């Protein structure tokens, strides 16, 4: 007998929770803990990390020329990322209260902490800040867009989509028109209860 889709989704959520728990246990293996959202390493580990750092001049001299040629292209994207971050933040501040949708907490998506690692040199830290910000903005925007989609059109596509957001799992099936408007209201109520 075919398993219920809701059972599979619940199992998937449990697996995601298990993965997160294993990641949390790994923290102890690397001798750090979190205190008020700040990573704290032991003194000995910080000393070992500094000893493993590749000095900036060596890092620069060893880099292939193609890395230096493409770096300006990568870093030029900071402008669109900042504009996207700002406009989406403005959008949700303006629209979400009007729709009574809980706002997405930006700091849950944009995490900048890898630059504190003592085994990275200055350029590596800058790169980590950039990537953390860029990928965080994409995750943040995706959640804002997902909540918007859940509010206005929580219907799955007929064609399979790759990398769909987590909210998509609960969307209504394509072509299932029975009680559409009542179920859309229920989806909005569920969204409004989001934390």
**Which structural domain range is residue 150 located in?**
53-192
- Name which residue leads in pLDDT, 168 or 23: 168
Q: What digits encode the pLDDT tens for the residues 88-130? A: 999 999 999 999 999 999 999 999 988 889 999 999 999 999 9
Mean pLDDT of 130-140: 97
Backbone angles phi, psi at 75, to 5 degrees: -70, -20
40 domain residue, yes or no: no
Q: What digits encode the pLDDT tens for the residues 28-64? A: 677 777 777 777 777 888 888 899 899 999 999 999 9
Token pair for residue 44?
């000995």
Give me the chain's average pLDDT, please: 89
Q: How many domains does the chain have?
A: 1
- Predicted pLDDT of residue 1: 39
Residue 104's Cα: distance from chain center in Å? 12
Please work out, in degrees rounded to the nearest 5, the angle formed at the alpha carbon of residue 52 by the alpha carbons of 46 and 53.
95
144 domain residue, yes or no: yes
């Amino acid at each position: 007998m075919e398993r219920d889709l809701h059972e599979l989704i619940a199992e998937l959520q449990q697996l995601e929770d298990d993965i997160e728990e294993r990641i949390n246990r790994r923290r102890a293996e690397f001798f750090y803990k979190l205190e008020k959202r700040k990573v704290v390493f032991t003194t000995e580990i910080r000393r070992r990390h500094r000893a493993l750092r590749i000095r900036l001049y060596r890092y620069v001299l060893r880099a292939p020329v193609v890395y230096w040629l493409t770096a300006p292209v990568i870093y030029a994207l900071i402008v669109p990322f900042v504009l996207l971050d700002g406009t989406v933040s403005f959008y949700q501040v303006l629209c979400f209260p009007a729709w009574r949708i809980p706002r997405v907490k930006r700091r849950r998506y944009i995490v900048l902490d890898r630059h504190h690692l003592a085994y990275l040199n200055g350029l590596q830290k800058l790169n980590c800040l950039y990537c953390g910000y860029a990928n965080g903005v994409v995750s943040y925007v995706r959640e804002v867009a997902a909540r918007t989609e859940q509010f206005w059109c929580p219907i799955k596509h007929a064609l399979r989509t790759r990398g769909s957001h987590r909210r998509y799992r609960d969307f209504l099936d394509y072509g299932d028109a029975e009680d559409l408007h009542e179920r859309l209201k229920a989806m909005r109520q569920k969204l409004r209860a989001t934390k």
